[in-house]
């Protein structure tokens, strides 16, 4: 029977550590600041943004919400990015996905100052991660949270087969880079992979971020594998569930994340921790 990863407990511990860091910064008169740019009225995005806001304020991070109408034009969004790029009270800029289709999301991402790029999506930050460059740069928060989980549970990575189902730029790709940097043998599958099960059954560490409820069942998992489920899917019943059939898989995995309560809480906690990182790195750069 697998050990079930307690993402909420880990997130609580990380949040406490982050709050201590902001308290220490406060003694020097520094308040880390994050702006969330939200375009339109997508209800899920609104809830998610409000949660981030509350969480940030709770731990001594100033949180600004820049709400733009659904029909905002590209130039207005770019001007907002530029304003926060130059705003010294803002350390982290987050553009809430999804953006309306009429906006050029790539141009928006590429316009964010790399040292305020809290999602690690700017190509220069992606490239540094990919090249395993030393030094300080932000990375995507979900993969960062997953790596914290793996470290916390002492999961050996060097020489292990790490397989990622999903290759989004927010999860699969940066996590593949992090696992490769940690010397795992890393495989990235995609929707063209003909025999998914054959590939996933070889994984010592299986990360699933496909956005497909219960895509992975026990037949797809190597006995003793570490299973990390990044999927968050809402079933017709309203219940949240992952990309992994948790009840089916939990007795053959060695370690598994539940949904909810696994990767999710660590994503937002990692976002807060990295906001403080960005503030400290910028501060350090200015001293």
Beta-bridge partner residues of 227: 206, 256
How far are the Cα atoms of 73, 117, 222 from residue 107, in angstroms, in the given order?
13, 14, 41
- Taken as a whole, the chain contains a residue count of 287
Q: Give the DSSP letter of residue 98.
A: P
232 annotated to bind ligand: yes
166 annotated to bind ligand: yes
CB burial readout 245-274, b (16+ within 10 A) else e: bbeebbebbbbbbbbebbbbbbbbbbbbbb
Least Cβ distance, residue 160 to a copy of itself (angstroms): 8
How many other CB atoms sit within 10 Å of the CB of residue 132?
11
Binder of a copy of itself out of 186, 267, 270, 274 (CB under 8 A): 186
Binder of a copy of itself out of 1, 86, 158, 284 (CB under 8 A): 158
167 annotated to bind ligand: yes
Q: How many CA atoms, within 13 angstroms, populate the side-chain half-sphere of residue 14?
A: 27
Binder of a copy of itself out of 61, 149, 177, 227 (CB under 8 A): 177
Q: Is 104 a catalytic residue?
A: no
Do the Cβ atoms of 229 and 256 come closer than 8 Å? yes
Which residue out of 6, 91, 96, 245 is catalytically annotated? Answer: 96
Segment contacting a copy of itself by CB under 8 A, of 139-147, 167-175, 222-230, 252-260: 167-175
Q: Which is nearer to a copy of itself, 131 or 235 (CB)?
A: 131
Segment contacting a copy of itself by CB under 8 A, of 81-89, 145-153, 172-180, 234-242: 172-180
197 annotated to bind ligand: no
Query: Please, which of residues 114-153 interact with a copy of itself by CB under 8 A?
Result: 121-128, 130-131, 133-134
How far are the Cα atoms of 174, 242, 260, 263 from residue 217, in angstroms, in the given order?
25, 11, 17, 19
Which residue out of 6, 91, 117, 119 is catalytically annotated? Answer: 119
Is 188 one of the binding residues for a copy of itself (CB under 8 A)? yes
Least Cβ distance, residue 261 to a copy of itself (angstroms): 30
Q: Give the DSSP letter of residue 67.
A: E
As given in the structure block, the two tokens for residue 239 are 């219940």
Do the Cβ atoms of 255 and 5 come closer than 8 Å? yes
Q: Is 52 a catalytic residue?
A: yes
Binding mask 191-220 for a copy of itself (x = CB under 8 A): -xxx----x---------------------
Distance in angstroms (rounded) separating the CA atoms of residues 46 and 38:
8
Binder of a copy of itself out of 8, 40, 85, 187 (CB under 8 A): 187
Task: Name the site residues for a copy of itself (rule: CB under 8 A).
Answer: 106, 121-128, 130-131, 133-134, 158-159, 167, 169, 173, 177, 180, 183-190, 192-194, 199
What amino acid positions are annotated as catalytic residues? 52, 96, 119
Point out the annotated binding site for NADP(+).
166-168, 232
């Amino acid at each position: 029977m697998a050990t079930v990863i307690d993402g909420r407990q880990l997130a609580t511990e990380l949040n406490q550590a982050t709050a201590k860091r902001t308290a220490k910064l406060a003694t020097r008169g520094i308040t880390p600041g994050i702006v969330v740019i939200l375009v339109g009225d997508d209800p899920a995005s609104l809830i998610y943004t409000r949660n981030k806001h509350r969480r940030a304020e709770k731990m001594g991070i100033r949180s600004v919400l820049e709400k733009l109408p659904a029909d905002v034009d590209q130039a207005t969004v770019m001007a907002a990015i530029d304003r926060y790029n130059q705003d010294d009270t803002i350390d982290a800029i987050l553009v809430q996905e999804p953006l309306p289709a009429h906006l050029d999301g790539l141009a928006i991402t590429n316009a964010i100052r790399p040292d305020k790029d809290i999602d690690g999506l700017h190509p220069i930050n992606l490239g540094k991660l990919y090249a395993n460059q030393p030094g300080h740069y932000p990375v995507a928060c979900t993969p960062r949270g997953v790596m914290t989980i793996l470290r916390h549970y002492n999961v050996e990575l060097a020489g292990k087969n790490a397989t990622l189902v999903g290759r989004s730029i927010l999860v699969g790709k940066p996590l593949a880079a992090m696992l490769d940097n940690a010397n795992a043998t890393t495989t990235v599958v995609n929707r063209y992979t003909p025999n998914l099960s054959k590939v996933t059954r070889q994984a010592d560490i299986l990360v699933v971020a496909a956005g497909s409820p219960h895509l992975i069942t026990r037949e797809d998992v190597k006995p003793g594998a570490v299973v990390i489920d990044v999927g968050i899917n809402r079933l017709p019943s309203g219940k949240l569930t992952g990309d992994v059939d948790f009840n089916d898989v939990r007795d053959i995995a060695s370690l598994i994340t539940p949904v909810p309560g696994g990767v999710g809480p660590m994503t937002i906690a990692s976002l807060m921790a990295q906001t403080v990182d960005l503030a400290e790195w910028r501060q350090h750069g200015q001293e």
